[in-house]
Amino acid sequence: MQLTSPKAVGIFLGVLYGISMRIVIEFSTALKFGSLVTISFMFLVPVAIGYIRVHFEYNENPNLTYRQMIVKAWQPIFIFLLVSIVTLLEGSICVAMALPAFMFFASLGGVLAGFTRRKISQKSNATLLSITLLPLALSPIELNFLHLSKTYEVTNSITINAPINIVWQQLTNVSHIEPQEIPFSLTRFIGVPRPLEANMNASGVGAIRTSTWQKGVVFKEIITDWQPNKQMLYKFEINPDLIPDNALDKHVKLGGEYFSPLNGGYRLSEDKSGNTILALTTKVQDKTNFGVYSRIWGEVIFQDFHHSLLTLMKNRAEKPLAAVISHS
């Protein structure tokens, strides 16, 4: 591929546009002009990147199929996100969450570019300029007037072959968690720190359960409902300033500007066979404008995290019983 070919130009300008928009919007946040956590950046910037990529290659290859437009639009997206990680503009968690949306909307931009060049070729450059400026035009409007904050609950449960009182004992104080006790999961793959332990300073309502994760992440759970062998509910007390910057990407930092767990807890019940049903619920506040897309990621991450914790509780509660059976 020659560096001056339309293909190379489209890729280079697409990447350059993405990085430039990333930097411009980052520095304009303080002026209430833009934000990275907006529809304008998350969805419209990749549309423009895909549009740029296909717009320039069309000069050389006007017979591009729509399938080629869709795939070629991904090329500058991958490079842009890779550069963002290497230069520390973004962390792995944010990139992983953004990638599906970036690919989808870049493809829309690529198809739109191909359609525009075929139908209104005389004004294609003007359309290109409009597409690239659209995020800058809409970002301040969205930031100041569009607020789609949502609160939702995520609940998961697991069946444990152990008495309720044995399971209850696992909830209050969680001793050091070995790496092999937590199943490999999506959250660990994308860089979310894993839990290490949880300790309570007392029992009953008002007690504090302190959770410690990898990378220096520490937060508190204030007990709001305490019914031994039935339920333990709590509200989160998280100071985002005490969470190291390298532990969680700033846009998904617990208790941060955009994303915060509010409360949650464990509930225990017994099935007909005498097994314990352990349910874990977390109530989450999402202050982004991403709507369904953000909700999907929130559900995925918390369900994944719940699964890890519930599996830990199950294995620890069943272990003494298994040892007794084996010994007898």
- What is the pTM assigned to this prediction? 0.83
pLDDT attached to residue 325: 41
**Residue (of 219, 218, 220) closest to 207 by Cα position:** 220
CA angle 169, 187, 20 (to 5 degrees): 145
CATH class of 150-327: alpha beta
User: What one-character DSSP code corresponds to residue 174?
Assistant: B
Q: Give the tens place of pLDDT for each residue, 295-315.
A: 888 898 899 999 999 999 999
Q: Could you tell me the pLDDT band of residue 242, with boundaries at 50, 70 and 90?
A: confident
Using one digit for the tens of pLDDT, what is the confidence trace for 129-187? 999 999 988 888 887 777 777 899 999 999 999 999 999 999 988 999 998 898 888 88
**14 pLDDT more than 80:** yes
pLDDT tens digits, 277-288: 999 999 999 888
**Which residue, among 29, 48, 46, 41, has the nearest Cα to 144 in the 3D structure?**
29
CA pair distance 14, 47, nearest whole angstrom? 10
Whether the Cβ atoms of residue 197 and residue 177 lie closer than 8 Å to each other? yes
- H helix or E strand, kind and range, residue 11: helix 6-28
Q: What would the pLDDT profile of 164-180 be if each residue is shown by its tens digit?
A: 999 999 998 899 999 88
Q: Looking at the chain, which residues constitute the CATH 3.30.530.20 domain(s)? A: 150-327
